[in-house]
Chains A and B, each alone.
Chain A
Amino acid sequence: MVGIIMYNISAPAGISIEGYRTLIIVVMAIILIIFEPIPLPAVAMMILIMQVLLGIETPNGVAKSFMSDAVFFIMGSLMLAVAIISQGLDSRLALGIIKLTGNKTWKIVIGFIAISAFLSSFIGEHTVTAMMMPVGLTLIKNSGVDNRSTAKLAALILFSIAYGSAMGSIGTPSGGGRNVIMLGYMKEFGMADITYLQWMKYAYPILLIEIPLAAIILWYTFKPRQLILDSAVRKLKIHVTKRGPMRGNEILTILIFVFVFLGWVFFSSKVGLGIIALMGVFLYLSFGLIRWEDLNRNTNWGVIILFGAAVSLGLHMKDTGAAFWVADTAINWMKMISDDVSIIRWFVAVVLTGFLTNLLSNAATVAVIGPIVLNMGGDTLVMGFSTAIASAFAYLTVVASPTCMIIHSSGLVHKSDYLRAGWKMFIMSVLVLFFISNFW
Chain B
Amino acid sequence: MKFLIAVGSKEFSEPTLRVGLQVAKAFKAAVTIAYVGPKISEFSTSQVRFTQERMEEWEFDRPGVEVLEWAFNFLAENDFITPTTIEAGFPKNTLVQTGGNRCEVYLQGTVCKDVNLILRNGDIIAELRDEVRRGGYDVTIIGGSQKRRMAHDLIQYINSSIFVVNKYDKHQDYNLLLPVDDSTHTPKAVKYGARVAQAFDVKVNLITVSKTDSFGEGYTKASQLASKMMRRAGIEHEHRFQTGDPVEVIKKTAGDNHIVVMGASTKNPLFKFFTGSKPLKVMEDCQCPILIVK
Contact = CB atoms under 8 A, between A and B. Distances in A.
Interface in B24-53: 37-38, 40-52
Contacts of B47: 81, 126, 130, 300, 402, 405-406
B57 interface: yes
A406 B60 contact: no
A109 interface: no
Contact of A405 (B48, B54, B57): B48
Contact of A409 (B46, B57, B58, B63): B63
Interface string A79-113: 00110010010100000000000000000000000
* Size category, B interface: 20 to 34
A401 B41 CA distance: 9
B55 interface: yes
A134 interface: yes
A36 B42 contact: yes
Given A137-B58, A300-B46, A410-B63, A130 B51 contact: yes
A239 B46 CA distance: 27
Contacts of A298: 46, 49-50
Contacts of A85: 50-51, 54
A129 B43 contact: no
Given A402-B47, A405-B47, A138 B58 contact: yes
Contact of A133 (B37, B40, B54): B54
Contacts of B54: 85, 90, 130-131, 133-134
A39 B42 contact: yes
B134 to A, nearest CB: 19
A300 B57 CA distance: 22
Contacts of B64: 411
A303 B45 CA distance: 10
Interface string B102-119: 000000000000000000
A82 B47 CA distance: 9
B52 A409 contact: yes
B38 A408 contact: yes
Nearest to A408: B38
A21 to B, nearest CB: 26
Interface string A293-309: 00000111011000000
A402 B44 contact: yes
Nearest to A141: B60
Interface string A280-303: 000000000000000000111011
B51 A361 contact: no
A399 interface: yes
Contact of A406 (B38, B44, B57, B58): B44
Nearest to B41: A399
Nearest to A131: B54
Nearest to A412: B63
A246 B129 CA distance: 48
B50 A130 contact: yes
Interface centre among B43, B50, B52 (most CB of A within 10 A): B43
Contacts of B48: 402, 405-406, 409
Contact of B60 (A40, A134, A302, A303): A134
A81 B48 CA distance: 13
A78 B60 CA distance: 24
A409 B42 CA distance: 13
Contacts of A138: 58
Given A134-B58, A137-B60, A402-B43, A409 B38 contact: yes
A218 B103 CA distance: 35
A129 B51 contact: yes
A363 to B, nearest CB: 9
Nearest to B66: A411
A299 B38 CA distance: 21
Interface string A10-39: 000000000000000000000000001001
Contacts of B38: 398, 408-409, 411
Contacts of A133: 51, 54-55
Contact of B46 (A88, A137, A299, A408): A299
A320 B54 CA distance: 46
A40 B63 contact: no
A88 B45 contact: no
A84 to B, nearest CB: 11
B51 A40 contact: no
A82 B50 contact: yes
Interface centre among B45, B46, B51 (most CB of A within 10 A): B51
B44 to A, nearest CB: 4
Interface in B168-187: none
B9 to A, nearest CB: 10
Contacts of A410: 63
List 7 A-B pairs, minimum CB-CB distance, nearest first: A405-B44, A134-B58, A411-B63, A300-B46, A402-B44, A130-B51, A402-B47
Given A131-B54, A401-B43, 7 more contacts: A90-B54, A137-B58, A300-B43, A300-B45, A303-B42, A303-B43, A405-B48
27 contacts: A36-B41, A126-B47, A130-B54, A133-B55, A134-B54, A134-B55, A137-B58, A138-B58, A239-B58, A300-B43, A302-B42, A361-B43, A399-B44, A401-B44, A402-B47, A405-B41, A405-B44, A406-B47, A406-B48, A406-B51, A408-B38, A409-B37, A409-B38, A409-B48, A409-B52, A409-B63, A410-B63
Interface of B: 37-38, 40-52, 54-55, 57-58, 60, 63-64
